[in-house]
Amino acid sequence: MAQPKTSWRIEPVGPLRGDVTVKGSKNAVSKHMVAALLGSTPSTVRNCPDIGEVPITAGMLRSLGAFVDVEGDTVRVDATRLTQADVPTQFSGLNRIPILMVGPLLHRMGEAFVPIVGGDQIGRRPLDYHVACLRAMGAEITMREDGLEAKASSLHGARLRLPFPSVGATETVLLTAVLAEGRTVLENAATEPEVIELALFLQRMGARIELRPDRRFIIEGGVGLIGAEHALAGDRIEAFSYLVAGLITGGRVRVFGCPQGRLVTAISTLHRMGARFEITDDYLVAEAAKGLGPSVVMTDTHPGFMTDWQSPLVVLFTQADGMSVVHETVFENRFTYVGALKAMGAEIELFDACLGGRDCRFHEMNERHSAVVHGPTKLRGAEITVPDIRGGFAYLIGAAAAEGETVLHDIHHIERGFHKAFDSLTDLGLKVERL
């Protein structure tokens, strides 16, 4: 299933001003759609973003025999009559959702095949954690050249500990353990808001899930689940990205739809740089009337500074007065977008040392996972091919603050992860043209 190749031309127009309403999280909507496979009645997910992830996931579910209806910001999934256990290879490489379907399909069909996963190339994201957990719960897993094959007459609870609090592996365990016989204990689990949101949705379906303070999920399986309804919380990555777009252009962007609680670490980081906030129950807005200063930031698992906030922050650092440091500890290859920013005039140096924080798991591994950013520098327009979702939006932010025209190719990456980004940026005053 090839993705359309689309390009945008961006011409900076000065400060971006206006309102943006973010929809539900890109990192949550597909997982809720997969969870619907476990229900004996249909499920409804509301406040869904209009992004490429939704039709891709809907296509996978429909290939299994599920009914999926997408109307506006509402997605309804009826998986009560599945007919297939194999996700077609045409969905290979599009995102990382297929691996999450293995547990639900084993419960429903006794077997499963999912194609090789895809997603943004931001570092090693192996299936080892997923496979080890599935095997521990009784699945027979065979890795094929074109994907993963699984079989299980029944699945049982297990005591599991993740080597790293992986979001995807935690979600695999939750989606599998809720119907497995007996108790599952998952230690060192991810606790990102999107993971908790999925756990709460499963709880609405009837699952028995408990989260302990020490990153430990306790799941009592073996109980039948029914469908549920849920309105997704706002996307914290989009919200932060638009706040940065306003700051970097000297403008004022009010962001609606994302609760303050999802942005606590982001807000404190921008505060330290000199930004001033207006925060209400309805919106957040950040301004920097006197300019921004440098900062030192280390990404981390929740509640640390989110790795997906890193790329817009680096672009903002190019306009801060002084030297800033970013230490990436979640994905070792997250700085692939830096080369194009340097072509736009940014002064960024990458290092394999753990700068600006404690030694991380990439210490002495020759991975350039720390960035030193010198600012302020004048950015200039350029012609760039977008590598992934987050890097792509970083280029958009940079283009809004640059001198001259920027052309971005393969814009489908951004459209896969940001709700109507073209319309939102146009409403803020940015001149964007589809080519």
Parallel, antiparallel, or unpaired: how do β-strands 252-256 and 183-187 relate? unpaired
Residues 6+ apart with CB under 8 A from 30: 53, 54, 56, 57, 95, 97
120, 235, 300, 388: which one is catalytic? 120
Cβ–Cβ < 8 Å for 67, 82: no
Nearest to 217, CA basis, from 166, 260, 253: 166
Cβ–Cβ < 8 Å for 283, 312: no
Structure tokens at 241: 């990205």
CA–CA distance, 91 with 4 (Å, rounded to integer): 14
CA–CA distance, 26 with 419 (Å, rounded to integer): 8
120 as an active site residue: the answer is yes
Structure tokens at 351: 């290092």
Residue 82, CA atoms < 13 Å, CB-side half-sphere: 27
Structure tokens at 70: 């997408």
CA–CA distance, 84 with 94 (Å, rounded to integer): 20
Residues 6+ apart with CB under 8 A from 242: 20, 22, 253, 255, 424, 428
Residue 141, number of CB atoms within 10 A of its CB: 17
Give per-residue burial for 110-131: e unless 16+ CB within 10 Å, then b. Answer: ebbbbbbbeebebbebebebbb
What strands lie across the sheet with 276-279, from one edge to the other?
A: 17-21, 252-256, 283-287, 276-279
Cβ–Cβ < 8 Å for 417, 53: yes
Structure tokens at 56: 């891709």
| DSSP-assigned beta bridge partners for residue 159 | 185
> Which residues are part of the catalytic machinery?
120
